[in-house]
Chains A and B, each alone.
Chain A
Amino acid sequence: PHPRCFQESGSWFLTTTPLVRSVSVDLNNDASLVIDIPDALCERDKVKFTVHTKTTLSSFQKPEFSVPRQHEEFIWLHDTIVETEEYAGLIIPPAPPKPDFEGPREKMHKLGEGESSMTKEEYAKMKQELEAEYLAVFKKTVQVHEVFLQRLSSHPIFRKDRNFQIFLEYDQDLSVRRKNAKEMFGGFFKNMVKSADEVLISGVKEVDEFFEQEKTFLLDYSSKIKDASAKAEKMTRSHKNVADDYNHISGALNSTAADNNTAFKKHLEKYAEVFEKLRKLEDRVASDQELKLTELLRYYTRDIQAAKDLLYRRARALADNENSNKALDKARLKGKDIAQAEENQKQCLQKFDKLSESGKKELTSFKARRVVAFRKNLIEMTELEIKHAKVRRLKCCVYHYMFTRQCSGSHGKPGNMREF
């Protein structure tokens, strides 16, 4: 199944037949609630995802339905879940990043401006490249939004969330109001406090062996995976640059051929063809590497952060628990408000125990999920690398054969076909 991407009067429309989304695996195993994003529409700045649900659950009104959703509505859903106290002991699936069409949009702009100064072939070629770029960004953003929903639907507790159901089902605009200044700054402050609390996480005396290990592991792994993700991105970008250079070389060879009227002309045109093929293959390598490796690392960087957030919440609860113990002791000493202090202490302990219990489950399944996803992606990436290398080898052999056949007599050395 191959995604199609086409343009209609300024908008870009992507349809994808179920591509295997592999950033997180086995998320659609439970047939009682199956979610996917079969297509998306990009109009100017806005992306509208079609969220498609198939369900046997009675809590929904229909067995199958679709709604259009924008990125902001996904963020709203994520934020309401984060703010739900009940879910403090769960790893909240990370919010999908905003769709970034800046690259292709810039290119489209250049295309529009330069249309008059280009030949028909150049224009068609640039348009094709532009479509490929849009498609690449589309694939990424659809994948990441889809996985977010599938993480929720495959989780025994999140799938029952009322807001989640509204998100899936409500066929009108959710009218998610944009965050006002206070909320935005509130969020900022919260983030600031959160990273300061990394100190808290490390500082608090850990009583539980499991959490002690997890803490050490997550703090270290988090910085390593962030670094790996950045390095993978740079690597992918370099591949794209090489592909671009092949493109320019091919164009320059064609220009040189156009000006030439000797036997050289045909050769130049053939060489231009070679570099064009090399470009296409390099592009494919770059985009596959991005989807399988770079996106994988990016996703798990976010997911690790979500796990750390869980640890943070538990550390907070532990701190609260200790404070409540101290308060109870103080109350007992003073002989005042003891009952209140006892109640407070009981609640804090309960909260802490609940967080610890569910946290342990979550972190264990998180590891399993991570391992499965890495395995799947590394296998797929490797298979694609092998495939692309074989195709490139074959194409180069074919051209090599073609060019050496042109050799007549003893001029030049025939290539070592036997070696290949």
Chain B
Amino acid sequence: SNDAENTAAHHRNTLQFNTYSHRKQLFSVCVTLSEATEEVSLDSPERQPILSDGPSPVITPVTPVMISSRADVFDRSPDQDEDEEENRDTFDIQISVSDPEKVGDGMNAYMVYKVLTKTSLSIFSRDEVCVKRRFSDFLGLHSKLASKYMHMGYIVPPAPEKSIVGMTKVKVGKEDLSSVEFVEKRRSALERYLLRTVKHPALLKDPDVLQFLESSELPRAVSTQALSGAGILRMVNKAADAVNKMTIKMNESDAWFEEKQQQFENLDVQLRKLHASVESLVCHRKELSVNTASFAKSAAMLGNSEDHTALSRALSQLAEVEEKIDQLHQDQACADFYLISELLGDYVRLITAVKGVFDQRMKTWAKCQDAQVMLQRKREAEAKLQHANKPDKLQQAKDEIREWEGKVQQGERDFEQISKNIRREVGRFEKDRVKDFRVVIIKYLESLVHTQQQMIKYWEAFLPEAKAIA
């Protein structure tokens, strides 16, 4: 988008970023969705993901509606799942986060970002919508999505991390390189976050998401501490802890889950290691840039000192070449960082979300178990009351049994549904993973080719100068 390009051009002047900010957004992959969405009848559950209270779907209009209650998307039929997978071909949506603007002064200041959505999807009210959002708005969105969907086994993309240090510098008004870099890093992260979120077929249709993207006014997200990425992580970890403290270890009848869980544990470790190596690469590339610039200055001084005219000129030109190459190193460090390092960082956080849904499943199972235990107790209590001649209490006991029978059934259904959801989610995750990495590697290779191309140009221009030394 033009806006993104202008912003990035501005960045380029201050930060000397080059190809990556101003070229296409990192993830401007067209998110393709089911063509069938248009044709699905109004009363299919797919159209109103979050409104049903009971088991039967309710007919609702298409326009997004604000909901506050918990979603009951458990009742998706299996057929829709398959449709989803096949039909990722026609519609698209493009989102860009740009033009960071500081609002206010001092410690109360905050950054506002422009969120531009371009889409042909009909669930949106316009083709092109532009809104202004601040960081806590994003956190608020994620918190809502997490609370609605995580317990159902949906992998909700994590929001970017809060950073007190980074933001303080910006608030205090330091216009230095590190603050500018921080804002750019955050802008990029927010963009990737939104793109990942809308890539999820259920989340795309979520009213909260739609409101976030379209509504000009958004109620201020309250208590951002609880909503921070770290806060969500804590929630997830608490679930994990609860699982670990479970006295009855889940009887895993499905080997798939055991295997997958182990795989994700391993992947977590591997990705962290890989991420650390890439961070080291970024660091060393920046050092290389600094050292090249430093050498360039030194070569220029040497050229000035050199009393042989032709050699002196060649050394000065060598200094100029090295300065240009320093710029290339900086560009490459950007690519290293924004393409690969951030991708890995995103996936490390995603894996946490994945592990979270597995833990949710365990929690669901535990709940089911608890309900069964309760039911058993109620039955025992009823049996005792049979011979006690207390008709009121007996009726109550029978009512309670019915209540808990219902809960057990619901629990079993929930468990079955979350297991099914996770299987589907993991399948989608694995497919997306392959695509995401490939897209990034392709762009990285492009960055390398571009850098080498420039290098060839610079050195080929220098060669006659070196030969001219006589």
Which residues on A are within 8 Å of B, measured CB to CB? Answer: 213, 217, 220-221, 224-225, 227-228, 231-232, 234-235, 237-239, 241-242, 244-246, 248-249, 252-253, 255-256, 259-264, 267-268, 271, 274, 278, 367, 370-371, 374-375, 378-379, 382-383, 385-386, 389-390, 392-393, 396-397, 399-400, 403-404, 406-407, 409-413, 415-416, 420
Contacts and interface: CB of A to CB of B under 8 A. Distances in A.
B459 to A, nearest CB: 5
Nearest to B448: A396
A235 B284 contact: no
A43 to B, nearest CB: 35
A382 B469 contact: no
A224 to B, nearest CB: 4
A62 B292 CA distance: 50
Contact of B441 (A217, A248, A274, A378): A274
Interface string B427-444: 000100111011101100
Contacts of B267: 256, 259-260
Contact of A256 (B274, B288, B442, B448): B274
Contacts of B452: 389-390, 392-393, 396
Contact of A234 (B88, B281, B295): B295
A259 B270 contact: yes
Interface of B: 24, 28-30, 32, 88-89, 263, 266-267, 270-271, 273-274, 277-278, 280-281, 284-285, 287-288, 291-292, 294-295, 297-299, 301-302, 304-308, 310-311, 314-315, 318, 430, 433-435, 437-439, 441-442, 445-446, 448-449, 452-453, 455-456, 459-460, 462-463, 466-467, 469-470
B270 A255 contact: yes
A274 B270 CA distance: 18
Contact of B285 (A221, A242, A378): A242
B302 A228 contact: yes
A382 B460 CA distance: 8
B286 to A, nearest CB: 9
B86 to A, nearest CB: 12
B263 A259 contact: yes
Given A228-B298, A242-B285, A403-B442, A379 B466 contact: yes
A239 B153 CA distance: 46
A220 B305 contact: yes
A242 B284 contact: yes
Contacts of B438: 267, 403, 406-407, 412
Nearest to B280: A245
A98 B404 CA distance: 86
17 contacts: A227-B302, A228-B302, A235-B288, A235-B291, A238-B284, A255-B270, A255-B273, A274-B441, A370-B311, A371-B308, A371-B311, A386-B456, A392-B452, A396-B448, A407-B438, A412-B438, A413-B439
A80 to B, nearest CB: 33
Nearest to A253: B274
A185 B294 CA distance: 37
Nearest to A403: B442
B446 A382 contact: no
B295 A271 contact: no
B299 A403 contact: no
A220 B462 CA distance: 26
Nearest to B28: A413
Nearest to B292: A235
Contacts of A246: 281
B216 to A, nearest CB: 31
Nearest to B275: A252
A24 B304 CA distance: 22
B441 A415 contact: no
A252 B270 contact: yes
Contact of B430 (A255, A264, A399, A411): A264
Contacts of B310: 371
